[in-house]
């Protein structure tokens, strides 16, 4: 009888512990401002979508896709980024959860019919601010290096996204 009671208590605590587990994955969608080229650069408006899967409470793998548009004096340009890499998070599953990430991938620039492809990389971070158990607000800032035709354009991206969390809890 004592063994049965002990087993019941242990199972209850195990259930509580798993109920407070952080989400196993998230998907974010939001607005992004991209400054392509720091001095003498251009201001792009656009959006980004990213998904992350977490292997434990602090390490995740991220995929990020961004689309940014610029138009001035009848000339339009679009920049696309395709990035992936690791994310390190603190306090996942809590109300405030900061993170940093380093991503690598490709980019595409289109200007009125012409296009160029290149290599890109990003380093940055942000914070997830929980609005509910499964929804967060994510302000984020990243440096993005865009490599086209043997030259690098240093860029900065500021984003504000809604995050949908899945699994866990």
- SS3 of the chain: the string is CHHHHHHHHHHHHHHHHHHCCCCCEEEEEEEEEEEECCCCCEEEEEEEEEEEEECCCCEEEEEEEEEEEEEECCEEEEEEEEEEEEEEECCCCCCEEEEEEEEEEEEEEEECCEEEEEEEEEEEEEEEEECCCCEEEEEEEEEEEEEECCEEEEEEEEEEEEEEEECCC
Q: What pTM does this model have?
A: 0.83
The answer to whether residues 120 and 144 touch, using CB atoms and an 8 Å cutoff, is yes
Which domains, ranges and CATH numbers included, belong to the chain? 2-166 (2.40.160.20)
The answer to whether residues 116 and 146 touch, using CB atoms and an 8 Å cutoff, is no
Q: Which residues contact 46 (CB under 8 A, 6 or more apart)?
A: 31, 32, 34, 66, 67, 68, 69, 79
Neighbours of 104 (CB within 10 A): 14
| Tens digit of pLDDT at every position of the chain (169 positions) | 444 444 444 444 443 344 457 889 999 999 999 999 888 889 999 999 999 999 999 999 999 999 999 998 888 999 999 999 999 999 888 999 999 999 999 999 999 889 989 999 999 999 999 999 999 999 999 999 999 888 899 999 999 999 999 987 5
């Amino acid at each position: 009888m004592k063994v049965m009671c002990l087993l019941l208590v242990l199972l209850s605590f195990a259930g509580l512990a798993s109920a407070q587990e952080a989400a196993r994955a998230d998907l974010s969608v939001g607005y992004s401002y991209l400054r392509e080229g720091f001095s003498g650069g251009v201001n792009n408006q656009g959006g980004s979508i990213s998904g992350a899967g977490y292997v434990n409470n602090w390490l995740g793998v991220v995929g990020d896709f961004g689309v940014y548009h610029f138009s001035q004096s009848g000339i339009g340009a679009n920049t696309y980024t395709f990035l992936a890499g690791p994310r390190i998070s603190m306090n996942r599953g809590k109300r405030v959860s900061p993170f940093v990430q380093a991503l690598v991938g490709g980019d595409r620039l289109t200007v009125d019919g012409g296009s160029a492809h290149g290599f890109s990389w990003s380093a940055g971070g942000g914070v997830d601010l929980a609005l509910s158990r499964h929804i967060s607000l994510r302000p984020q800032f990243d440096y993005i290096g865009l490599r086209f035709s043997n030259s690098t354009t240093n860029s900065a991206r500021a984003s504000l996204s809604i995050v949908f969390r899945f699994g866990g809890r």
